[in-house]
Structures are given as structure tokens and as C-alpha cells.
Amino acid sequence: MITNPFDYAAPTSLSEALGLIADGAKPLAGGMSLIPMMKLRLASPEHLVDLGRLPELNYIRDEGGEIHIGASTTHYDIESSPLLRGKCPLLHETATCIGDIQVRNRGTIGGSIAHADPAADYPAALQALEAKIVLKSSSGERAVATAEFFLDTFTTALEPNEIVSEIIVPTEPGLTGTSYKKFYQPASGFAVVGVAARVRQEGGKFSLVRVGVTGYSGSSYRAVSVEEALLGKSANADSIKAAAAQVAEGRDANSDLHASAAYRGGLLVTYTIRALTSALERSS
């Protein structure tokens, strides 16, 4: 199908882009989600602002203990960054799981999280990493914790005049192990369920556990019950198996043609065990 008519602007500075967005224009990043929605007439913005040409949104920088990633950084740039592979391997690993090479070459981290598809991959990793998301408008900026950014299906804390400008992730100290495990939807590659785990162990016991979930319910979330059940417990397969049973606590399961709620629940427990086991193996 063909889109409704629209105006297209490609500003050369971020302040110009933010001014156009304040006037009601819609941001365009990689177009991997927005353009298909426009073709299907599920979205019909009259004015598009292309963020893809702004160097102010395209970077990966080490700022001592944190890595700052500009919103227009593509999945491929994240996947191929030696800095992220070395200092935040969870984000590197997650990017390698997204779609196919064409999608990874065009799609951006800012576009993905602003879109907030409940089956997208980054949200699980950003939940486990306790990342901060920086939002900018023509009147200022604010940083939001990942847990407060993703509100519901295709719904985030973004105000209409704001854009995602950067994502801030911690660099992992030596003994932290991370892993992302995903059950792929066979046609698109999206996550039927996806689980990101981040763990540390000291003296054979878990001293840090973070678990981020995507695909299971309307929005990504931190599986706090699993984290609390494992903290201080022996770092072994039995503890992981017992705690993983709580991963869906308090959440309603999605049910669709790819997986019923019951099947998704079974997958989620299995993928939680796999992600935690793999993260634990990498933590020592």
C-alpha cells in the first residue's frame, strides 16, 4: 500500500529538529517500524522529521563507568562496537538477535525503544542493565529509569514534544556475567519471549541478580521476584530453577497466533533458567 501524503524535513541540527517536533512533526529514525505502519495506514503523520542525519544523536562513548549511546545509533553499530562488546556485552549480544542484517543496518536503538513493541529485544537488556534513558525537548532534558520508561504496549513515558536522545548503560565490572536468551518468532525474528540476565557471585552465593523480560506481557519488566529469591542464595542450578518459577508473578501473559498464554508461560520459565545459567557461567 501507499502512504498518505506527508511533508519530510531533514534538519541539520538537533535544535532545529526539536523545534519541528514541538510544532507537531513526528520523528523518523530507521523507518523500520514507522514506514510499514504508514503504508498500512496505521499511522498517518503529516510531517516527518528525519533524525538520521544528526551527528548529535549518533555516537557510542565511554564516559568512565558508563557508556552513552546516541538514539540514532543503529543495531549494527551496537552489534559491531568493540567498546560495547568489551564493556557491555549484554547490549552487544542483544543487538545481534534483532531481525536480519537489513533491519540491523537501518533500525536504531532510539527508534526501537520509542516504539515500545512488546516483543522488541532491547527493553529486556535495558531493564537488566538498569539503563537510563535521556529524553530531550526544545525546553530541556530529563533522564528516566528504564523501569519507568516502558509503560504499556507501544506506550512510553515520552511526551509528544520529546525525543529519546541517548541511552546510558553501566560498564560491567570484571566478575559480572550477562546473557540474553530469546525464543524467536520464526517469520519476523521478534521475541515470543526474551530474557536478559545480569548476575554476580561472591563466595558461591548470588550477590547481584537482575532479570529483564520482553515478549511475555504488554510491556517489558524486571522480574523482581526472581531477583529477590536468588539474592544471597547458592549460585547453582537448583536455586535458579526454583526462583525462575516466579518470573511471571503479577503479569498477564500475551496470547496470540504465535503462542498461547500457557505456552508463553512455559517458554518464559525455560528461557529464564537458560539466561540465568548462562550469565552465571560467564560470571566467574
Interface positions with ligand FAD (CB under 6 A): 26-34, 51, 71, 98-99, 103, 106-108, 110-112, 114-115, 117, 120-121, 158, 163-164, 188-190
Minimum CB distance to ligand FAD smaller for 109 or for 243: 109
Minimum CB distance to ligand FAD smaller for 26 or for 233: 26
Minimum CB distance to ligand FAD smaller for 13 or for 284: 13
- Residue listed under C-alpha cell 498461547: 260
Minimum CB distance to ligand FAD smaller for 28 or for 60: 28
What is the C-alpha separation between 6 and 156, in angstroms, rounded? 25
| Least separation in angstroms between CB 92 and ligand FAD | 14
What is the C-alpha separation between 232 and 48, in angstroms, rounded? 51
| Least separation in angstroms between CB 247 and ligand FAD | 20
Minimum CB distance to ligand FAD smaller for 26 or for 241: 26
| Least separation in angstroms between CB 136 and ligand FAD | 9
| Least separation in angstroms between CB 278 and ligand FAD | 19
- Residue listed under C-alpha cell 543495531: 75
CB 137 within 8 A of CB 157: no
283 vs 73, 174, 276, CA distance in Å? Answer: 28, 8, 10
Those residues whose C-beta lies under 8 Å from the C-beta of residue 276, and which sit 6 or more positions away, are: 179, 197, 199, 209, 211, 226, 230, 240, 243, 244
Helices (H), the chain: 14-22, 34-39, 75-79, 82-87, 89-96, 101-106, 109-115, 122-129, 146-149, 224-230, 237-244, 261-281
Minimum CB distance to ligand FAD smaller for 108 or for 178: 108
One-letter amino acid at 247 equals V
| Least separation in angstroms between CB 65 and ligand FAD | 24
| Least separation in angstroms between CB 141 and ligand FAD | 12
CB 245 within 8 A of CB 235: no
